[in-house]
Amino acid sequence: MASTNVSTSTAQNSSAAQREARFLDALQAAGLRLTAQRRAICHYLANTDSHPTAQQIYEDLKPQFPSLSLATVYNTLDVLVRLGLVYALGGAGDRAVHYETNTDPHINLACLVCHRVVDLPMPEVGAWESRVAEASGFKIFGARLVYYGICPECQRRSQDVSH
């Protein structure tokens, strides 16, 4: 899992284990067999704080699971997205869909240079849901807020090149 940032604290590991169990339960309830590949995809998603694409997940897991297909990755992600356990985020400047397991209220920041997506915790974002529902009459099922720009690392790299 070269491109993931794997959590190490006990609390994070516990949370990741719970998230992984929810993913596996959901796949099983949806009628999918819990193959080694699907288990690995769920483990990968539960233990990353990045926003990987299906291709990244596939490339990271393929060495461990030579029989893994990209279709299996997409099908697994599709079920998890339909069940609201994983969010699909587009528009990180790379025309790819990035997947996210953080369902807590937050803002996503997408770098248009390196295409990395990072979370900015913002608990007050959760309060906006009821205000939007009240003002619009909509029954709100969820929301994603994405800001686009250039991350600090890419800004530094750009300054280093120009000097």
The string of pLDDT tens digits covering residues 95-131 is 789 898 887 888 999 898 998 889 898 888 888 888 9
In the predicted structure, residue 12 carries a pLDDT above the cut 70: no
- Domain range 104-163, its CATH number among 3.30.1490.190, 3.40.50.720, 3.90.1150.10, 3.30.379.10: 3.30.1490.190
The pLDDT of residue 11: 55
The pLDDT of residue 10: 57
% of the chain residues with pLDDT over 90: 52
In the predicted structure, residue 8 carries a pLDDT above the cut 50: no
33-69 pLDDT tens trace: 999 999 999 999 999 988 999 999 999 999 999 999 9
Query: What residues form DSSP beta bridges with 149?
Result: 111
Higher local confidence (pLDDT), 13 or 151: 151
Q: What does CATH list as the number for 1-101?
A: 1.10.10.10
CATH 3.30.1490.190 in the chain: give the residue spans.
104-163
Contacts 24+ apart (CB under 8 A), 113-119: 113/150, 113/151, 113/154, 113/158, 114/151, 114/153, 114/154, 116/50, 116/51, 116/92, 116/151, 117/50, 117/51, 117/89, 117/92, 117/146, 118/51, 118/151, 119/49
The pLDDT of residue 35: 94
In the predicted structure, residue 7 carries a pLDDT above the cut 80: no
Kindly calculate the radius of gyration of the chain based on its CA atoms and give it in whole angstroms: 17
CATH 1.10.10.10 in the chain: give the residue spans.
1-101
The pLDDT of residue 143: 78
